[in-house]
Every structure is written in structure tokens, then in C-alpha cells.
Structure 1
Amino acid sequence: MSSVGVSVEDVGGVVRIRLERPERRNAYDLGMAKAMIEGLQSASRAEAVVISGSGGSFCAGGALGQLSDPDPEELRELFTTSLRLVDAIRACPRPVIAAVDGAAAGGGNELVIACDFAIATRRSTFGQTGPKVGSAPVLGATNLASVQIGEKRAKEMSFMCRRYTAEQACAMGLINEVVPDGMLDDGVDRWLAEIHELSPRYLEIAKVSSNMWWNASKDNMQAGLESLIQAIGSEDMREGAQAFLEKRKPRFRDAARPVGTA
């Protein structure tokens, strides 16, 4: 099955979901998000799911072009569908592996957080973009990431928008393994071979049980998402997205206004 920007294939019992918009570093739009959800929902009889990018990037999150001049209803749907996407990763009864080659940024980094396992090439990088582009990473980075990498490190990642190498991401617990550049498929195949030897029934039970902290974070994610929706069209959103598109530093503080106002 293929959609604009996403391919979904069942290869030997493994559902492989590939993002195919390399010209924008595989940033996903609404149609791509829905296609990924459909791919995950089709995997109940598979052994595992692998999510990957193309063209030297993993995923840059949601397409920022929509933020500089947003349509509130379209952006609301993209935000809510993004929550459905990360939840579909967790609800999928099969292990979901993020196969990362290149940048996992913003919502792409949150896809890594949502996946059960993550394997990355040495050249890959990780990090959030939220406050730097007029947004906030409420679908994993500000909540669940604290369980994965510790609260102080998660705040550093989500507030400060720093970039981390694959080795740093592995050391902090964001990903499971770093493989040499060009060896990602081999690394993923090793993990798939191990999964093949395990009981699907008890893997599913283990995954459901492991969702404890994810389930505890869902109300927080929904509240954060509602805050993002209320801020659609704010000066900071427009300036952050426009600065990103123009490849310049944002000027959030040019307009004098009280802290905390839109």
C-alpha cells in the first residue's frame, strides 16, 4: 500500500512504514499521518513494525509550512491526528522499531520516544524544535521522555532544543543501539530475528503492561494539545515557523508584550 509521502509494505511478516518526502526531511502532513496510522493498525497479524525515513533523514515532525499562515481547522486536525499517531504506535500489539538514519527532529524525535525500540546509524541526530519554532513538544518529549531519559535531561531536550548525537542518545536511553553508517538494515534485521524467536502472544502482553507510563501521560498529552490548539495563529507560532522557512533566527521578543500572552 502506498500513499502520498508514505509507503507501507508487508515484507516477510514485517510491516515496513517508510516516510518518503526527503525534500522536506520527511516532515509529515495530515495525509501522511493518517497513512502511518493505517499501516500500524494493519499490523495486528505481523511480527513487528519498522518505521523509517528516506533520503538521509528520519523525520522532521509536522510540516512547518502550515504554521506560518495557519488554517485553524486544518492545523487542529493535524495536531489531533499526531496524537492518534503516537498512540497508534503504543496501541499496536506488535513491537514497533524506529530505524533512524539521519535527523529525528521535533515530532520525528517524539516518534522515536513512542516506539518500543530505536536503532540508529552513527550519523543520526536527535532533538526537539518546539520553543525554537513557536510550538511545544507535548506528545512525548515533555512527559514520557522524563521516564526514558530522566526529568532534567528531558527538560533540557524539550526546552532548549539542543541536538544530540546517536551515541549521546544511546547513552541517555533514548535509543537502543547505534550501528555504523550504511548498516541500518543489518542492525534492524538482527532485532527482527530475535523477535521472530519470541512468543507473539506474550510479547503483546508484555507490551500492554509496559504502557503503564504512556497511559499515565495521555491526559497530560491531551491537555498540552488543547493548549497548542488555543495558541494557533499566535505571534510566536507565525514568527517561529517563518524564521524556520527563511533559515534565520526567530525574533520572538521584538513585539513588547507581557510574558505568557499570545
Structure 2
Amino acid sequence: MEYQNLHTELKDNTLYVTINRPLKLNALNRQTLQELAAVVTYANETREVLGVLLTGAGEKAFVAGADISEFADFDIEQGAQLARDGQNNVFNAIESSSKPFVAAINGFALGGGLELAMACHLRVASENAKLGLPEVTLGLIPGYGGTQRLTKLVGKGRAFEMIATADMISAEKAEKIGLVNYVVPASELIGTAEGLLSKIKQRAPQAIAAAITATNAAVDAATNGYDIEIKAFADCFGTADFKEGVSAFLEKRKPSFTGS
């Protein structure tokens, strides 16, 4: 599929997705969100995709926020629709994807950009990255799940401070408070993200999908995470990969998983 604002490449079972609006610091406009929604669907439906590496074009920004000009004149109803569509079609879709998403944060991750990174399952940041949710400076709050995901990742006190002050934090502090998994030099950013995906791709794909479902349930107040885990655990017993994994263990060899 051809995209206007994304560059995609499938290589070694990893789908590389680059948000490609460097002159706009990769800001999320309506077209980009639609294309990201299509990418999530493609990743979920394509067996060859075992993981997704998401980053931004250029050296300045992962995503420096949403394209404010597109919603400057919105009313309450339009604002609700904007948030609902974005959350359902992109941010929640990434978080609940059966394929792991790794965000490689190569600069500013602000507003919707940080929300996009938080929707991913793992986050690696370059040393020069700056992260923040500045929406209150516009008379808004985060609308793509930022208040919820940030609170779950770093705790209520730190989340409220970041949101209410609108301050950016350094990559080093983001790692310290659990907002990102790793901080590395910019030259090592993509390689580190690839290394994480390389490890994950060696594991059973259906088990990875089950782990995503179960860990998501752990922070979902509307579900019983233990019950979700029991079902996801039990379902793994019906997969060919379970049989292969056990056979490989008993035979002292590396497993060859097929995702079935």
C-alpha cells in the first residue's frame, strides 16, 4: 500500500514504519492517523510481520504533537469525535495489536507523539529526546489516552505533574520514572529497537500475542486480569507452537515456531 505520510518497509519479519513529515516535525494530521490505522490492520493481518518498529523521519522529532490547525475551530461534539476516532482506530489499536510495537523515539515526543509512543508496547529513546504533554497550554488535556497511559506507566503524582505543568522531561528522566525502557545514543537507537524485536521474534508468535492480551488486562480496571491470563494461558495449549516449544526443550534444541 502506498502512503502519503508514512514510509514502510517489511524486512526480516519486522515492519519498519517511519512517520515522514519532517518539515512539520512529523505532527499527526488526519491523513497520518488514517495511514497509521491502516498500518496496524496490515500488521495484524500479515503473518510475515512479527513486530513493528515505529519512528519519525529526521533527527529532530519522533512526533512533535498533533496538527493543531486541523481542530482549531472544533466544538465539543467534534472534539469528542476527534478523540474517539483517534483512540479507537490508532492508539488503542496499537496497544491491543497482536504484534509487538516498539517506538524508537528520535527527538521530540510531545502531545499526541508521546501518546503514540505510550501506546506502543516498548519504548527506546535517544539521549537527545524530550518528552511531554503540553496540551494544557492550549486550554486542552491529552485526548488520545495520555492521561490514562501515563498514569499507568509512571504513577498518578508524576503523571499529573507532567500534564499540569506541561514541562518536557529528558530521556534520562523518562527512563528513571519508567516512561521508556532504554535510553541510548542516537546512533544506536534503531539498532537497540531492532535488538529487542530480534529477541521477541525468536519466541512463539501466538504466545507473544497472548502475553500482550494478558499484560494489557493487568492495567484495565474493567477486566479481571487473572481470568484473562488463565484463558490466554489455556489457549496456548491448543497451538502447534506449544507442542514445538516443549519438544524442542525436551530434545535440547532451538524451537522453530510457525505462529500456528
Do the aligned partners of 2:6 and 2:32 also contact (CA within 8 Å) in 1? Answer: yes
Aligned to 1:61: 65
In 2, are the aligned partners of 1:66 and 1:75 still within 8 Å (CA)?
Answer: no
Q: Which residue of 2 aligns with 1:225?
A: none
**In 1, Cα distance between equivalents of 2:130 and 2:222:** 25
Q: Report Cα offsets for 1:157-200 as digits up to 9, x if no partner.
A: 11111111111001100100011122212111211221122111
Higher Rg of the two aligned structures: 2
In 2, Cα distance between the equivalents of 1:110 and 1:213?
A: 19
Q: Does the 8 Å contact 1:34/1:81 carry over to 2?
A: no
* Preserved contact between residue 25 and residue 63 of structure 2 (Cα < 8 Å): yes
Letter of the 2:165 partner, please give it. M
The answer as to 2:101 corresponding to 1:89 is no
2:244 — aligned with what?
A: none
Conserved? CA contact 1:123–1:165, under 8 Å: yes
DSSP-derived class of the 2:103 partner: strand
The aligned counterpart of 1:236 is none
Question: CA shift at 1:139, angstroms?
Answer: 2.8
- Rounded to whole Å, the distance in 1 between the matches of 2:144 and 2:124 is 21
Structure 1 residues 28 and 52, CA, compared in 2 at 3 Å: closer, same or farther? Answer: same
Indicate the SS of the match to 1:126. strand
Describe the shift of the 1:216–1:38 C-alpha distance in structure 2 as closer, same or farther (beyond 3 A). Answer: farther
Letter in 2 for 1:63: D
Q: State the number of aligned residues.
A: 218
Partner of 1:50: 53
State how 1:1-262 maps to structure 2 within 5 Å.
1-44=1-44, 45=47, 46-56=49-59, 57-70=61-74, 77-84=81-88, 85-213=90-218, 215-216=220-221
Residue of structure 1 in register with 2:254 after alignment: none
* Structure 2 residues without counterparts, runs of 5 or longer: 224-260
| Structure 1 letter corresponding to 2:43 | A
Distance in 2, matches of 1:142 and 1:72, equals 19
Q: Could you tell me how far apart the structure 1 residues matched to 2:181 and 2:23 are?
A: 28
Distance 1:199 1:168 in 2: 33
| Matched residue SS, 1:80 | helix
Q: Is the 8 A contact 2:83 2:144 kept in 1?
A: no
Quote the offset at 1:74 in angstroms: 6.8
Change (3 A) 1:20 1:142: same
CA distance in 1, matches of 2:108, 2:218: 26
TM-score (norm 1): 0.77
Gap change, CA 1:149 and 1:133, over 3 Å in 2: same
Q: Distance in 1 between matches of 2:2 and 2:154?
A: 35
SS, match of residue 216 in structure 1? coil
Is the contact made by 2:83 and 2:143 (CA closer than 8 Å) also made in structure 1? no
C-alpha distance after superposition, 1:74-102 (max 9, x if no partner):
76654333112101101210111011100
Measured in 2, the distance between the counterparts of 1:15 and 1:21 equals 19
- Aligned residues with identical type, % of pairs: 27
Cα distance, 1:164–1:13 mapped onto 2, change above 3 Å: same
Cα pair distance change 1:141/1:74, threshold 3 Å: closer
Q: Which amino acid aligns with 1:24?
A: K
Secondary structure at 1:131 match in 2: helix
- 1:81–1:17 Cα change, 3 Å: farther
Shift of 1:111: 1.1
Segment drifting more, 14-23 vs 134-143: 134-143
